[in-house]
């Protein structure tokens, strides 16, 4: 993957050092952080925790302070900006081909915790997309977690994470997420989980479409694609559940198994078109 020297997005918002203080947790204790860790390990949707935290406890803000980047973190921020810019270029062109207009999302860099229109988020929940304010939220320390705790190293593994969250933005613009969330409200728990899986796998598929269309600009290699597949596998529900509690409960999946996540990334990558992912609007995933 060759990204240095390429255009950086103007849509990165850096609020590191000026976000929510460390005491912004349920009941004034560490409840939200612990719950978030468990929920993320089980592959849950972070919005559930965010909304609960917002309703139960007020937000205490820490004293704002400037973030002094190290050479490594400065390079990491530049990397995020380049990847986001490439998603903008790809999805603008893809939407134009469909006769529609792509609206760029913002990407918010934060440390520790952050306010969003979906609630208050701790970095332990991992990256997430909030459709209410059309923003992707990312604590760059997650990249260290990805390579260390989850065993998914490589720059394109990190690019996949961003592309997946932007995939949720694509779903919002296409009206898919609203339709699926409406269906979730009418479904029982098992069916709602299946619908959540469908959305997540479609976002993986869109990440694959993006990777296909970014091959020339980023000079991607087969190793880069393997890194992305490694990341998709690392965050599969079955792998996370097995690591967290020693057994797997497929009916409680919300993001899909490792095999499913790899499959649908590959599906999008091989096809390179949104139509490869359109099956999720009304059919079962495999």
For the ranges 118-122, 209-213, 250-254, the maximum mean pLDDT occurs at 209-213
pLDDT higher than threshold 80 for residue 73: yes
Find where tokens 């597949």 sit.
229
Confidence of residue 238 (pLDDT cuts 50, 70, 90): low
- Dist. CA 77–CA 12, nearest whole Å: 9
pLDDT digit string (tens) for 96-132? 999 999 999 999 999 888 888 888 878 877 889 999 9
Q: Give the mean pLDDT of the chain.
A: 79
Q: What is the pLDDT of residue 87?
A: 97
Do residues 198 and 224 lie in contact, with contact meaning Cβ atoms separated by under 8 Å? no
Nearest CA to 274 among 205, 198, 214?
Answer: 205
Percent of the chain with pLDDT over 70: 74
Q: Residue 220: which pLDDT band, with cuts at 50, 70 and 90?
A: very high
> Which pLDDT belongs to residue 248?
62
What's the CA gap between 227 and 209, in Å, rounded?
16
Of 218 and 257, more confident: 218
Tens-place pLDDT, residues 153-180: 899 999 999 999 999 999 999 999 888 8
**Spatial distance between the Cα atoms of 14 and 166, rounded to a whole number of angstroms:** 17
- Whether residue 48 is predicted with pLDDT greater than 50 in this model: the reply is no
189 compared with 228, residue with greater pLDDT: 228
Residue 66's pLDDT is 63
Q: Largest alpha-carbon pair distance within the chain?
A: 50
pLDDT category at 41 given cuts 50, 70, 90 is very low
**Residue 193: pLDDT band by 50, 70, 90 thresholds?**
confident
């Amino acid at each position: 993957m060759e990204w240095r020297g390429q255009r950086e997005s103007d849509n990165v918002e850096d609020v590191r050092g000026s976000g929510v203080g460390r005491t912004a947790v349920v009941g004034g204790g560490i409840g939200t952080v612990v719950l978030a860790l468990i929920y993320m390990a089980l592959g849950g949707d972070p919005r559930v925790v965010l909304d609960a935290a917002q309703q139960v406890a007020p937000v205490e803000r820490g004293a704002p302070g400037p973030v002094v980047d190290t050479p490594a973190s400065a390079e990491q921020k530049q990397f995020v900006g380049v990847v986001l810019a490439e998603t903008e270029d790809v999805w603008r062109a893809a939407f134009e081909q469909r006769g529609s207009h792509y609206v760029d999302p913002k990407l918010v860099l934060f440390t520790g915790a952050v306010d969003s229109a979906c609630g208050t988020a701790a970095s332990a929940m991992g990256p997430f997309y909030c459709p209410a304010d059309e923003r992707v939220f990312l604590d760059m320390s997650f990249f260290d977690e990805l390579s260390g705790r989850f065993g998914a190293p490589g720059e394109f593994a990190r690019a996949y994470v961003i592309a997946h969250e932007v995939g949720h933005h694509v779903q919002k613009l296409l009206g898919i997420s609203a339709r699926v969330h409406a269906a979730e409200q009418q479904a029982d728990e098992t069916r709602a989980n299946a619908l959540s899986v469908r959305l997540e796998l479609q976002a993986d598929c869109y990440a694959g479409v993006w990777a296909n269309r970014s091959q020339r600009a980023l000079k991607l290699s087969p190793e880069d694609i393997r890194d992305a597949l490694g990341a998709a596998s690392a965050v599969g529900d079955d792998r996370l559940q097995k690591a967290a509690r020693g057994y797997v409960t497929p009916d409680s999946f919300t993001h899909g198994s490792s095999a499913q996540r790899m499959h649908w990334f590959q599906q999008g990558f091989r096809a390179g078109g949104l139509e490869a992912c359109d099956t999720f609007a009304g059919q079962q995933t495999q």
